[in-house]
Chains A and B, each alone.
Chain A
Amino acid sequence: MESLKRRLMLTGAFIVFFPMLITIGALYITGALKTPVLLAVAGGAIVGLAAALLAVEKIMASAVKLNSAVEKISKGETVKIVGADRTDYFYLIIENLNQMINNCDSFKKDIGTVMDSLINGDCTFNVNLSQYDGNYRVALEKIIESCKKVNEPLSVMNGVIDKVSKGDITSERINVETRGAMTSLKNNTNSLLNTIDNLLNEVKVVCIATIFEGKLDKRANVSLFSGRWARLATGINDIVNTFVKPLTLSSDYITSISCGNIPAKITEEYKGDFNILKNSFNLCIGNLQSMIKEVNDLTHAAADGNLKKRGNADKYEGAYREIISGINQTLDSVINPVSKMNEYLVQLSKGEIAGKIEDDCKGDFCELKDSLNKLITTLDNLLNEVKVVCIATIFEGHIDKRANVSLFSGRWAKLASGINDLINAFANPLKMSASYITQIGSGTIPPVITEEYKGDFNLIKNSFNSCIGNLNNLTVEVEALTHAATDGKLKVRGNADKFEGVYREIIVEINSTLDAIVNPLNVAADYVAKISRGEVSEKITAEYKGDFNDIKLNLNSLINTVDTMLGEIKTICIAVIFEGKLDKRTSVSQFSGRWAKLASGINDIVNSLVNPLKVSSDYLLKISHGEIPSKITEEYKGDFNEIKSSINTCLDTLTSLIITDGGAALQAAADKDLTARVKKTYSGLYDKMKENINSLIENLEEMFKNIGANAENVSSSSSQISKGAQSLAQGASEQASALEEVSSSLHQMNSMARQNAANAKEGQNLTTSARSSTERGVDSMKKMSVAINQIKDSSNNTAKILKTIDEIAFQTNLLALNAAVEAARAGDAGKGFAVVADEVRNLAMRSAEAAKNTARMIEESVKYANNGVGINEEVMKNLDEINGQVKKVNEFMSEISAASEQQSEGINQINTAVAQMNQVTQQNAAYSEESASASQELTYQADQMKNMILQFKLSSVKTRVMNGGFDYNSAPGYNRRPIIQPIAPPAAHAPHMKKDFGEYENYQASSKSIEADPKKVIPFEDDTNVLHEF
């Protein structure tokens, strides 16, 4: 439809504009439209119309878009209108619509959020109200408010119910302002809470009554509840009832059982589990009865001392069987430890506080053992305390001494403090008694006690007083007896009649005692005297009665004891002295009382002998193991002290020799200090050892000094050798150089001599050829002489011819004169003839002249020829002389040649000798190089040795510090490689080299660095192949 519209519009526009254009064009073409204004108006109208058409089309498109959006909104869809741009005609409307759609969308979302929160019980309602205005905001606020109203009581109730569900039923009730249905909900909830609370309280009361207070009669008050709650309460009461009855019965039975009464079996009827319980009880009662019998039997057996009796477990089943066998096992496990414990207890009961129990025990016995041990310890402590107190009070009379209660705990502490109290209770009367007794003891009968005491102490007081009275009397009587006895009147007896009761008895007793004593006393005295004299006599066999029998028996046992003692001592003597068994002791247990002390005294003596011996032995063993133990510090006396001090002296000596003095010296030597010596004075072998150590160190020192000195000498000598070898090497080099020059000169001389010989030979040849030349010269001279003579002859002949010519010229002249005359005669005709005649006459004249000259010349020639002949003869004479001399030169030359050859030969021989010398010199150079190297090594090693020696501290050697090793640069005569500094190392020096050689670069156009790669320099392909073979 849209496109149809557009098309229609376009068609319309076309229909309107096309004819218009045609018209305008036609008008224009036909010239009707002449004015451009008109044309412009027409164009403007067309354009305006087109624009209007386009605008209409756009508006229609916007309207369509808007329409569809509104349609969607009306259907509840919140779709944004898209494609709205500012060019749209309804832009603002679209924008507002979009805004509205947004708001609706957001509002919908927020309502959703609120509802979701409500459903989830969350009343925070996380909604931003500020983004809304107007009605939106009001609506949302209302919704949230009403939600909150509903939620508030609910959450309070929820909190309370939550607490209840967690068992926390407090008095707290729901107390929120509610309305309508909410109020009723609140009230119901509260009443439920009350009921639960009451019920719980009742249950609690019942529970407390039954469980904690044992009041099984307590029941819940059902009347407090109604409906089902009342039934629940009743139910609870029923349950309690059901349990309580059998429980009471059970309780009775158990009480009976626990009281030791086995009740009769239960006969009442019970149901279900209670019946089972009843049966169980009955079974239990049966078993218990049987078991009690069993246990009774066992107890009886145990009471009869029959500890081996055990229960018959086979009679029982299950736990009872286990009980009986348990009892049996218990008995087993008890009786052993018990008997052990018993022993201890017996010992304890006898007051013998034995050592602690060491036996292995298990379980409770272990505890028992520990307890016993603790008990023993405590008893021990207590006894000690008591002993201390006893000693203090009884023996030392310190009545103020008390047991130290703080040492004990619990009942023991009470016991201790009880003892203290007891002592306290006694102490005062005792002190008083003591002072009385002291007085009585000191012979002073004190006055009657007048102080008031109570109870027993009063009785004591009275007794004391009566005692004092009796004593006074008794003293008198006894004094009398004593006097008698002192006087040796053994027959005087006391007067018993003076006294009553005990005192009378005393006197009677004294009397009878005196009677009874005197006789056996004599016998006993006799025996004792014997024993004291060491005469261990026969046992007393006479019969005595009562105490005397005791005395007799005691004496016999004394005799026995003495015998045993002697035997023991003998045994120990043999064991210790002869058999070396130092552990042998007397068996103290054989003896009692003082004898035991004697025996243990003997043991002590042996111990005091053996201990030092053992200590000595230990020390000697330690020393033999290389250990020097610390000195004996224990105190010994007498000879033992001497042994001790001997051992200590020995230790001192050893310590000194091995550690402080001798050891230190050796250690110093080991640390390279040879100046230390063993200094202290020793005796015997130790002195010898000291001397040996000292002489060892001295010898070492001496040797090192010598080595040091020798090394010094070697070093200096080898330096000299090195120097010498260096100069030798240099000398050899120079010699080689000189020899090289000599050799070269000789070569030159040789070649010169050879040259000379050759030249001489050449000269000889030349002279030979010179001789033949001169001889040929003489021949030529002779031939020349002949030739000259022939010239002379021919000259003479010519002179003759010239005379003829002269004669002819004269005649001719005459003829010419004659002719002239004749011509003159002839006149004019003769005139020409006259001229010829004149000419002929001139010619004749000149001929005559020439002939004259020639004749003169020939004469000269002849003269010269004659001269020539003379000279020729002279030359020939000279030539002959030359010939003779050349002969002589030739002879000299041959002599020279021979001599030169001889000279060359001689030079050759010299050259060979020089070559040999050169070789020797080369060898010398090499050898001197080698010896220089060797002597340097020697110097180095000598210095090494010196340095080693210098590490030792020697008494009289100047310590010269060598700074480690041999310094090649400062070594005398050593100039091995100073050039390394300016030249080497090559790599670093290379640029320098190049630069240096750079100055030669102009020498040759293609010149390169002299530092060519050595591998390039030496392109020996086959060399590389050979090397690769290896």
Chain B
Amino acid sequence: MEYISAKLSDYEFDRISGLVYSLCGISLGSGKKELVTARLAKRLNELKLQSYDAYLKYLSGDESGYELLQLIDVITTNVTSFFREMHHFDYIRERILPEYRIKSEKIRVWSAGCSSGEEPYSMAVLLFEEIGNLMLRDVKILATDISTNILTKAKEGVYDKQLVNGVPKMLLNKYFDAFTDRDEYGRTLYNFKVKSDIRSVVRFARLNLMEDWPMKGPFKIIFCRNVMIYFDKKTQEKLVGKYHALLETGGHLFIGHSENLSSISHSFKYVQPGVYLKC
């Protein structure tokens, strides 16, 4: 087995970043060349290709489109954790959910850019905790991501013990099944699988945010956290407008702590950092 240490030329980088931008709106600056090189190396190795030029040829020859998905999968950054940015969940618990403990109104939540599923599962756990058994209620969480690999992982709902560090022990016991497994070298892995009740309210689907959205809405809550930072302003503005259209009046949009809608034009009302309200 030989390791491929092909060099990515500027031309090839431009081709790939242009392709990625046109496919999913992710904007790869010249500072991302190393990242792209490193991430695409996996593909080259897997395909036993000697150069990026050959990879591009392979890509253009792949009619199934599978390799495009793989390209998107390796390029997208999937970093998330359970109850990431806890203050958002606090806000939902304190300001949004109380009235739905009594009201049996339907609840629709969308986690746009759900990555490996921690965000929608966190939301489902919160809903179970706050309004009881969701089986008796019309509650659904839509979780979408562009990466099929990460969606497969998310659907499994299996997380390493390190990954569930953010989940309070009580909730971990209540909503996760612990089990052990062995890795390819036969080592023991301590894993946690999300319980089926939780998994049943979360519906996963692949969605490229740049394409048409088949959803009709309206959603009560939309998460799109640390997703839009990979897009340029123009794309961000378009997305925020579409989120606004899909939210019900009084619905909330949650964006990442590093994001801000102040430099784009939108119709939301600012509530607190990362929290926006559709009036």
Which residue in chain A gives the minimum CB-CB distance to B183?
A: A912
Question: What's the Cα separation between A944 and B3 when bound, in Å?
Answer: 50
A966 & B229 in contact (Cβ 8 Å cutoff): no
- Cβ–Cβ < 8 Å partners of A927 in chain B: 79
Bound complex: CA A734 to CA B39 (Å)? 11
Contact partner, A989, options B18, B148, B205, Cβ 8 Å:
B18
Contact of A733 (CB < 8 Å), options: B15, B38, B204, B229: B38
**Interface presence of A745 (CB below 8 A):** yes
Nearest opposing residue in chain B for A736, CB measure: B38
Is A1009's CB within 8 Å of the partner chain B? yes
Known: A977-B232, A1000-B60. A748 touches B18 (CB 8 A): no
Known contacts: A993-B18, A1008-B60. The answer to whether A979 contacts B226 by CB under 8 A is: no
Question: Is A710 interfacial (CB-CB < 8 Å)?
Answer: no
Contact B216 A1030 (CB under 8 A): yes
- Contacts of B37-93 to chain A: CB distance below 8 A: 37-39, 41-42, 45, 56-57, 59-61, 63, 65, 68-69, 77-79
Q: How far is the CA of A58 from the CA of B125 in the complex (A)?
A: 123
A996 to chain B: closest residue by CB: B15
Find out whether the CB atom of A979 lies under 8 angstroms from the CB atom of B259. no
Note all chain B residues with C-beta closer than 8 A to A931: 258
A1011 / chain B contacts, CB cutoff of 8 Å: 22
Q: Find residues 931-988 in chain A having any chain B CB closer than 8 Å to their own CB.
A: 931-934, 937, 940-941, 944, 965-966, 968, 975-980, 982-984, 986
Q: Could you tell me if A740 and B38 are in contact, using CB atoms closer than 8 angstroms? A: yes
Q: Is there a chain B Cβ closer than 8 Å to A571's Cβ? A: no
Interface string of B190-210 (1 = CB under 8 A from A): 000000000000011111101
A1030 partner, pick from B29, B57, B219, beta carbons under 8 A: B219
Tell me whether B65 and A986 are in contact (CB under 8 A). Answer: no
With an 8 A cutoff between CB atoms, is B133 at the interface?
no
**Which residues of B from 204 to 253 have beta carbons under 8 Å from A?**
204-208, 210-211, 213-217, 219, 226, 229-230, 232-233
The one of A733, A944, A1017 that contacts B68, using a Cβ cutoff of 8 Å? A1017
Minimal beta-carbon separation of B64 from chain A (angstroms): 8
Cα A632 to Cα B216 in complex, Å, equals 75
- How many angstroms from the CA of A1023 to the CA of B152 in the assembled complex? 12
8 Å CB contact of B206 from A726, A737, A940, A1023: A1023
Asked whether, in the complex, the Cβ of A937 is within 8 Å of the Cβ of B233, the reply is no
We find that the number of chain A residues with CB closer than 8 angstroms to chain B is: 76
By the criterion CB–CB under 8 Å, are A740 and B42 in contact? Answer: yes
Q: Cβ of A1020 and Cβ of B17 under 8 Å apart? A: no
In Å, the complex CA distance between A734 and B22 comes to 24
Of A293-301, A459-467, A522-530, A918-926, the one contacting chain B is: A918-926
Q: Are B27 and A979 in contact (CB under 8 A)?
A: yes
Say yes or no: A933 contacts B38, CB within 8 Å.
no
- Please tell me if the beta carbons of B140 and A741 are within 8 angstroms of each other in the complex: no
Cβ of A1004 under 8 Å from chain B: yes
Smallest CB gap from B215: residue in A: A1030
* Contact status of A937 and B263, CB under 8 A, knowing A730-B34, A1000-B61, A1030-B216: yes
The answer to whether B45 and A744 have CB atoms under 8 Å apart is yes
Report the separation of the CA atoms of residues A798 and B93 in the bound assembly, to the nearest whole angstrom.
116
Enumerate chain A residues within 8 angstroms of B213, measured Cβ to Cβ.
1027
- List chain A residues, Cβ under 8 A from B256: 930, 933
What B residues does A726 contact at CB under 8 A?
Answer: 31
With A940-B263, A1030-B215 as contacts: A984 and B18 at CB distance below 8 Å: yes
Chain B residues packing against A (C-beta within 8 Å): 1-3, 5, 14-15, 17-19, 21-23, 27-32, 34-35, 37-39, 41-42, 45, 56-57, 59-61, 63, 65, 68-69, 77-79, 108, 110, 140, 142, 144, 148, 185, 203-208, 210-211, 213-217, 219, 226, 229-230, 232-233, 256-260, 262-263
Nearest 9 A-B pairs (CB), nearest first? A1017-B65, A983-B18, A737-B38, A986-B22, A733-B35, A934-B258, A930-B258, A926-B79, A1026-B205
Q: List 16 A-B contacts (CB under 8 A).
A: A734-B34, A751-B1, A922-B78, A922-B79, A925-B35, A929-B230, A930-B258, A930-B259, A979-B17, A984-B22, A986-B18, A993-B19, A1014-B211, A1027-B213, A1029-B203, A1030-B216
- 8 more contacts with CB within 8 A, not counting A926-B79, A1009-B60, A1018-B208, are A975-B29, A982-B14, A1003-B60, A1027-B142, A1027-B214, A1028-B215, A1029-B203, A1030-B217
